[in-house]
Chains A and B, each alone.
Chain A
């Protein structure tokens, strides 16, 4: 508002004109505080005024309603001196003053300007100055109604002070004037308002009245107060409308709510639309027009306050509420007119906001302008539908005339409503509605703008919804390519945010779009998605399912390939046997979930198999794979500026306790998380799985054909025959429906299996007993395991042994003719084995059997062991010069053998007689726990027998022997140097009849040459060995002697140390060896004086001897004992005192 409060100036006009500029500029320089009544907050205000010359006619009276244009204040300027004051000025002032008084105006001020201080000061007598006079005359009661302004032209300190106090006074009085008037006005207004429910009250009159106040505030620069007035008016009106709508009719409203003939949009160009205001005064305004006006006033004030974004903010509410009011008041308005109005108003607001200088609140703008644009867009769309301007529909004549009607009511172009170069919203709308093409152009333009704004303020979801709308439009105008992009964006976002319903709902649109673009491949994929979506209606799904089948069968020569994850999911894969024998079937059990709404027949389901590298020693961990839903494919492409909430950390983390120990004691403990670092890492989008999936290598695969998959889980089994050894893993699964394939990689399932090749082998087992026995013919069974190989018909197995084993097969030799045998078979053959018995030291003999099948290169070996049934030993016994040979046959095995006809013969000498002591015709039974003993006496016919080779043989049978023969067993032994050469006897005697301890006794050794002695060298050595505790030897323990004559005797002193029956010291004789002979050393006793010490000390001595063979020396006194009596009073006896 350009107007300022009017202040009239009377008096010396020329004076005033000089001071006019200064006063005009000086007044608003400083702000003053204006305190209002009713506890309102004080306002800081810069007062301005426009100074006009005084005219008695323009003095307002009580009834004047205007606030703005009335003169508020009256100043009388004079700089006269006392003389002229008395003469002319006083009367002038009096006239002026009385006029003011008559008009009841208390707001005036007399300013006495003193131009020259010096004039006054020079007077000697302090006469009353002009100001005193004035004061006396006019301001007796109010001293502040006159003021002195001294030397206003100068620029010194005093002048400045004077000006300052002048202005202060002026401001103060002005405010008083305002208060006075405004209070009165407000009171009036209030009382007017109170009457609002009385009949005859007219809101619009009241409106004008209160608006005046708003104007006043606006003039004063108190925009907030002005705004408050309008808000109050707004609320009041709204209340009336509400009441009216609910039945409480207000008379004055009736003309407002008549049929609406004009729906011109908002106009914010001019701050005050005076024309409109006049119409309001006359109550000739429609609801729309009134609302337009009110909002425009609001906006004007907000623009002045530099809060233009609030205009944008309030605009939406304004539009909605007005629409609401129109609706509730049931105002008759042509269809579409309201939309026009809204469209134009939106654009007007946008235009107004944009024309203002860009401030820092640009962001806040965008927030509201985006919604405004969007709203305008939707309104335009509605109009498009209404007027048949949407693509694809031709406007009927009705619609065309409707457009004309709408256009007519849009208001007239006054030419003052826009700045140069800008298109008025009305024109824009007219243009848009003029034809289909221009509609399209405008509509798309609006859409793009809105989308841009939404993205700018990061309202992506709104942008996506708008995109969907635009896609719809593009489809209509036949540009589905553009629509596709929008739809895909929307789907991606919905999927990222997990709004399945919306994503799939949009997919329906996408499907239509792709179909019209004839992008069959993508359409197919989309149709699959839709058919498998759990969020859509069953009818839609079934429809698209039919489409899928149709496309799959129509696709000639081509193959649709896509990921299986939406259509078929592999819930579980089970390998029961991960180690398969070659040529066996490898089986995998699958549970496949079909998401199709109906049954579908898969022409083929295949799994490709790839030979994996050597897994090393780690066993196969996974035999079952269960689907983990989070691993299914999801597109996580990064949309700039759009940050969906990051995934939370997993609910279960690997917490564990840790301990810190010092000196074995726990000093502190903690709970930590092992992979904390990984979990806390920023989870930026990792490597994105590529959308494209290729069919792998199916050269090696397992498949099953014509499987019917029902919706839900299905169990399928696939099998394949293994052909080659190795480790394999399952690589990819492919579901084939007619000409479409759904692929899924199984790489992360980690399913492996191994094909092993079983080698053939043979086993030989005795049929009736546990072990093979040598010496009998027994039945055996040869088991041939073919492993993974086949044996053709007519093959021959040849069996060989490395030991002395005879084998008898059914064909009579060591080969078996076999028929064709398949792999993994075991066939048994009968044969019999015989191994000769020999005298062995060991109880068992190990034999290796090797079988060779003539068609194979391989030789199969098998180890056997034969147990010997007998263990034969011999022993020579001597009695003086007679010799006996004892042969013991021990059984080795549990089975019983029967011995008959034992025979002993000497092989190399016939000069003896072998006299058996057994009854030779009986049968001996020999087994594990029973042995047979045979004794013969060897009776020589000559005195000197050579070394004898004896042969003992017998015949044996066994029930185990298949042949039932009596078999021969021979045992050969040698007897060397066995004839008795000497006879040895010795005694211990004492001089007394008895021997007592500690009494020396005599050991008499007597050696006699035997008859059968054949030695020539009769030099012998005797050796006495004593146990140091029983006997003490006093004499030589060894001695050499010669028995050339028949006998030899020697005596040695011995001392018995113990009493009782003691064995005599052991005496033995040996051969004497010359020291020159190269004989091995033998331990000898030192031939020194006997003493009890060092008796057993082995010493190398000259005396050497060699022992005799068994049987060559017959010891008559062996094991004889002698009774030693304890000596009386011997210290050796122990006295044991037993206390009673």
Chain B
């Protein structure tokens, strides 16, 4: 029986184009670092997917990368913007209510929030994201049921 109080995502990460983290937020757990490791490792898959898309031109060239790789407990989804900023969502495996389209929507929301934040003149591209607005949007995404 699936519990109804699952957060939508357990970890959301925004990675800069040089592959360092701009923003990572996780649900509070004991070992938050494990999410960091998961996200970092998923960059391998992200890079693979991006480079393979270039070779295979018949595939749909959309920004959403889909499920990057599953682990036993989590499913990791990826999304890369044209500016090579990567968004990574980690969901619990037991969360079966989310369809692919829902995840796409979540990424779109994330992307929009990021673009808005980038247009803030007090933010220098490449810095860690500290905007509270952005953080609120992401936390809402994580807790919404």
Contact = CB atoms under 8 A, between A and B. Distances in A.
Contact of B44 (A317, A459, A645, A647): A459
Interface in A216-257: 242, 245-246
Nearest to B126: A648
Contact residues of A: prevailing secondary structure: helix
Given A323-B72, A462-B44, A499 B93 contact: no
B122 interface: no
B145 interface: no
B1 interface: yes
Contact of A499 (B36, B44, B94): B36
Interface string A495-533: 001110110010000000000000000000000000000
Contact of A462 (B41, B93, B96, B126): B41
Contacts of B1: 245-246
A647 B43 CA distance: 18
Given A367-B48, A462-B44, A502 B36 contact: yes
Contact of A465 (B41, B93, B126): B41
Contact of A461 (B20, B21, B44, B93): B44
Contacts of A647: 18
Nearest to A323: B72
Contacts of B2: 246
B18 A498 contact: yes
Contacts of B119: none
A316 interface: yes
A317 B33 contact: no
B61 interface: no
A242 B2 CA distance: 11
Interface string B49-73: 0000000000000000000011010
Given A497-B19, A498-B19, 6 more contacts: A320-B72, A461-B43, A465-B37, A499-B21, A501-B33, A645-B17
* 8 closest cross-chain pairs (CB), A and B: A498-B20, A459-B44, A645-B18, A461-B44, A461-B41, A497-B19, A505-B33, A462-B41
A317 B70 contact: yes
Interface string A333-359: 000000000000000000000000000
A1002 interface: no
Contacts of B72: 320, 323
Contacts, number: 59
Nearest to B44: A459
Contacts of A499: 20-21, 36, 40
A371 B48 CA distance: 14
A460 interface: yes
Contacts of B36: 499, 501-502, 505
B32 to A, nearest CB: 9
A17 interface: no
Contacts of B21: 498-499
A644 interface: yes
A352 to B, nearest CB: 22
28 contacts: A245-B1, A246-B1, A246-B2, A320-B72, A459-B45, A460-B44, A461-B40, A461-B43, A461-B44, A462-B41, A462-B44, A465-B37, A465-B40, A497-B18, A497-B19, A497-B20, A497-B40, A498-B18, A498-B19, A498-B21, A499-B21, A499-B36, A499-B40, A501-B36, A502-B33, A502-B36, A645-B19, A648-B18
Interface string A291-317: 000000000000000000000000011
A632 interface: no
B82 to A, nearest CB: 15
A508 to B, nearest CB: 10
B48 A644 contact: no
Interface residues of A, number: 28
Contacts of A873: none
Contacts of A465: 37, 40-41
A460 B69 CA distance: 16
A316 B70 contact: yes
Nearest to A646: B18
Contacts of A246: 1-2
A959 interface: no
Interface in A637-683: 644-645, 647-648
Given A246-B1, A502-B37, A371 B44 contact: no
Interface in B85-107: 93-94, 96
A367 B18 CA distance: 23
Interface of B: 1-2, 17-21, 33, 36-37, 40-41, 43-45, 48, 69-70, 72, 93-94, 96, 126
Interface of A: 242, 245-246, 316-317, 320, 323-324, 367, 371, 457-462, 465, 494, 497-499, 501-502, 505, 644-645, 647-648
A459 B72 CA distance: 20
Nearest to B21: A499
Given A324-B93, A462-B41, A644 B18 contact: yes
Given A461-B43, A465-B41, A502-B40, A320 B33 contact: no
A272 to B, nearest CB: 29
Contacts of B44: 458-462
Contact of B69 (A371, A501, A505): A371
B2 to A, nearest CB: 8
* Candidate in B2, B36, B37 with the most chain A CB atoms within 10 angstroms: B37
B39 to A, nearest CB: 9
A316 to B, nearest CB: 7
A245 B96 CA distance: 12
A324 B70 CA distance: 12
* Candidate in B1, B44, B94 with the most chain A CB atoms within 10 angstroms: B44
Nearest to A647: B18
Contacts of B48: 367, 457, 459
A460 B43 CA distance: 10
A645 B50 CA distance: 14
A598 to B, nearest CB: 24
Contacts of B37: 465, 502
A501 B37 CA distance: 10
Contacts of A457: 48
A792 to B, nearest CB: 65
A643 B48 CA distance: 13
Nearest to B24: A501
Contacts of B40: 461, 465, 494, 497, 499, 502
A1114 to B, nearest CB: 103
A826 B124 CA distance: 59
A494 B37 CA distance: 10
A245 B94 CA distance: 12
Contacts of B18: 497-498, 644-645, 647-648
Given A459-B44, A502-B36, A320 B70 contact: yes
Contacts of B20: 497-499
Nearest to A321: B70
A648 to B, nearest CB: 8
A367 B96 CA distance: 26
Contacts of A320: 70, 72, 93
B14 to A, nearest CB: 13
A648 B44 CA distance: 21
A246 B69 CA distance: 26
A329 B129 CA distance: 43
Contacts of B70: 316-317, 320
A367 B17 CA distance: 23
Nearest to A342: B72
A457 B51 CA distance: 13
Contacts of A317: 70
Contacts of A324: 93-94
Contacts of A644: 18-19
